[in-house]
């Protein structure tokens, strides 16, 4: 979809935004995600926008797929999805939460974004020398 929108006159930003919005509409408006109010769709919109930027900078889908996989594993193993179709306990035996705390999930995404950014920065610095 990105390449299709990129061929239009909108440019990189609008093509990434259009694909991110589509991803957020499909994933973020599931009934279980609407239980979190605006945080469900916003979580998917920001995550998809970040993955679109990564796809643009790496010129491929391997890195965004890896980050998406890591985020899914992180969210399912740490918090669990109590009200979702992926009903799982996560670490509830140690830290009790009824379900995924969406505002706190932004911390997980933020940690992954910072880690990926630092990795790319140091990789670029090492290759420049």
Residue % of the chain over a pLDDT of 90: 1
DSSP string, 61-103: SHHHHHHHHHHHHHHHHHT--TTSSS---TTTTTS--SS--HH
Q: What is the pLDDT of residues 95-107, one digit of tens each?
A: 555 555 666 667 7
Backbone angles phi, psi at 35, to 5 degrees: -65, -20
* CA–CA dist 108, 39 (Å, integer): 14
- Domain borders along the chain are 2-128
Query: Could you give the angle at which helices 62-78 and 102-128 cross, rounded to 10 degrees?
Result: 140
Q: Are 24 and 44 in contact (CB under 8 A)?
A: yes
Q: What is the pLDDT of residues 64-93, one digit of tens each?
A: 899 888 887 777 776 665 555 555 555 554
Q: Are 92 and 80 in contact (CB under 8 A)?
A: yes
Check: pTM over 0.85? Answer yes or no: no
Ranking 26-40, 52-66, 115-129 by mean pLDDT, the lowest is 26-40
Q: Are 41 and 22 in contact (CB under 8 A)?
A: no
């Amino acid at each position: 979809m990105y390449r299709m929108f990129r061929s239009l006159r909108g440019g990189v930003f609008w093509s990434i935004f259009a694909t991110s919005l589509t991803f957020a509409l499909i994933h973020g408006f599931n009934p279980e995600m609407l239980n979190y109010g605006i945080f469900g769709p916003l979580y998917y919109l920001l995550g998809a926008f970040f993955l679109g930027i990564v796809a643009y900078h790496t010129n491929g889908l391997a890195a965004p797929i890896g980050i998406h996989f890591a985020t899914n594993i992180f969210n399912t193993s740490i918090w669990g999805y109590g009200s979702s179709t992926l009903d799982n306990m996560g670490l509830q035996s140690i830290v009790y939460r009824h379900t995924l705390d969406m505002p706190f999930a932004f911390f997980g995404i933020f940690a992954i974004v910072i880690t990926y950014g630092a990795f790319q920065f140091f990789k670029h610095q090492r290759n420049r020398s």
